[in-house]
Amino acid sequence: MDMLKDDNNATKSNSQQNWPKWKLTTEKETYKLAQIITKYIRFLHPSIIEAITEDNTKHSEEWHKILSKNGVKNPDLYLWESSPCCFPGVRRYAGSKEIASFRKHTEMNKNDIPNALKLDDNDFPKQIWSFVFRGKAFNKTGPDDYSLAHLFDHKEYKNRMEEGEEVEFIDGHKYSLPYYGLYTCPSNTVYIPNSLIKPTDFNKNLRLLLFQKAESLYKDCCNILPPFIKISSSNDEKWDIENFKWAKCVGNMENIDLFLDYRRKFYEDYNKIN
């Protein structure tokens, strides 16, 4: 009893104290970690991204109209020049109201959901991967011990584009809203082992390294970001992508027509209903 009383007193006396500050990995240790991680990160083959970008160009006018008609005030948040966005108008839910509506706890009027045709729970970004490897739509199960990760931020909350450390807006452009299309851009998603996923989300050097790798893979077939957004570069040459071993790009074109038909039907059906 005395020990419990002492613990309670200690808790009260320390209740206004700050959390302790523990040591973080050094830059040298992070670099060694990066040399391990890059060997396991899976990027889709550029030919897949090229096919989607070409199909977007083909349907650009049609899809711009659908988005504009249904509450997306700026369709270029999804369909910028040479955008590889797989599902323009689909974004991740954000905020308590949208989460509650998505989970059918409450109802939201479609007109109250800004800049989206449809909200999603992280399924739509996986559709292209599922079609490429399985020839059918995603059904909640992915590759064992790997998770899908986004590279650039696609949501409004804590969007690092606004901070100006990872990217630079040029030609007079400024950050105003997230580029929601990044949510389903296959150039913006990778599969990473579950054991390694956190460092790529929170370490700046690692994030910039992955940005540079994505740009090098896809620069000839699409704009991974709107053309007026420039990726920040590392001031240290040792972080050049050529200094790391990378896993080979994955996937082939065998099932790409199945995917393009699937998403074309998605927009045809949406247009009929709305």
Residue position matching structure tokens 């988005």: 67
pLDDT band at residue 3, thresholds of 50, 70 and 90? very low
8-56, pLDDT tens digit by residue? 444 555 567 899 999 988 999 999 999 999 999 999 999 999 999 999 9
Q: Are 77 and 181 in contact (CB under 8 A)?
A: yes
Q: Are 173 and 197 in contact (CB under 8 A)?
A: no
Burial of residue 261, with CB atoms counted within 10 A of its CB: 0-12 exposed, 13-18 middle, 19 or more buried = exposed
Q: Are 149 and 200 in contact (CB under 8 A)?
A: yes
Burial of residue 209, with CB atoms counted within 10 A of its CB: 0-12 exposed, 13-18 middle, 19 or more buried = buried
Name residue 148's amino acid. L
pLDDT score at 50: 98
Q: Are 153 and 161 in contact (CB under 8 A)?
A: yes
8-state DSSP, 175: -
242-253, pLDDT tens digit by residue? 999 999 999 999
pLDDT at 4 over 70: no
Looking at beta carbons, which pairs linking 93-97 to residues 24 or more positions away fall under 8 Å? Answer: 93/119, 93/120, 93/121, 94/155, 94/156, 94/157, 95/157
82-132, pLDDT tens digit by residue? 999 999 999 988 877 776 777 766 777 776 788 999 999 999 999 999 999
Rounded to two decimals, the pTM is 0.89
pLDDT at 159 over 80: yes
pLDDT more than 70, % of the chain: 92
Structure tokens at 249: 């790009």
**Which runs of consecutive H residues, i.e. helices, occur in the chain?**
2-13, 27-37, 46-69, 95-102, 124-134, 197-202, 204-218, 256-273
More confident residue, 272 or 133: 133
199-231, pLDDT tens digit by residue? 888 888 999 999 999 999 999 999 999 999 999
pLDDT score at 81: 97
For the chain, count helices (H), then strands (E). 8, 6
Q: Rounded CA gap, 266 and 113, in Å?
A: 19
Return the domain boundaries, the chain.
32-89+122-273
pLDDT score at 152: 95
pLDDT score at 263: 97
What's the chain's length in residues? Answer: 274
What SS3 class is residue 152?
Answer: coil
Q: Rounded CA gap, 188 and 177, in Å?
A: 17
